[in-house]
Amino acid sequence: DIQMTQSPSSLSASVGERVTITCRASQGISNYVNWYQQTPGKAPKLLIFGASTVQPGVPSRFSGSGSGADFTLTISSLQPEDFATYYCQQTFVTPTFGQGTRVE
């Protein structure tokens, strides 16, 4: 299986700050990465697919980049509703998720 390693595991940030979360794959996976947001007690929500395409309805402050093995999710200006856990997922082969990054 391809391992997805997210960093950091958690971070503290304030409203208005720029937040960057990285995800590294154990091998090259082209652009087959999705990003999800999960708030406590809720199902995850798709934010980004294909590494950089923003899901319709997702605020423009969310963006994704990367190709190969290194990927980034950026929140340009953190809002109160963005405090959540974020997961990357690769779908290059049998899908796997990263371990999550908690933004608090």
Partner 1 sequence: QVTLRESGPALVKPTQTLTLTCTFSGFSLSATGMCVTWIRQPPGKALEWLARIDWDGDKFYSTSLKTRLTISKDTAKDQVVLTLTNMDPVDTATYYCTRAIMSAGVTASDQWGQGTLVTVSS
**Structure-block tokens of residue 37:** 């947001």
- Our finding on whether 37 is near partner 1 (CB under 8 A) is no
Pick from 19, 94, 103, 104: which binds partner 1 (CB under 8 A)?
A: 94
- Our finding on whether 87 is near partner 1 (CB under 8 A) is yes
The C-alpha angle 14, 18, 22, rounded to 5 degrees, equals 110
Which range binds partner 1 by CB under 8 A, 19-27, 39-47, 60-68, 75-83? 39-47
* Alpha-carbon torsion, ordered 20, 26, 31, 36, to 10 deg: -50
Q: How far apart are CB 99 and partner 1 at their closest, in Å?
A: 5
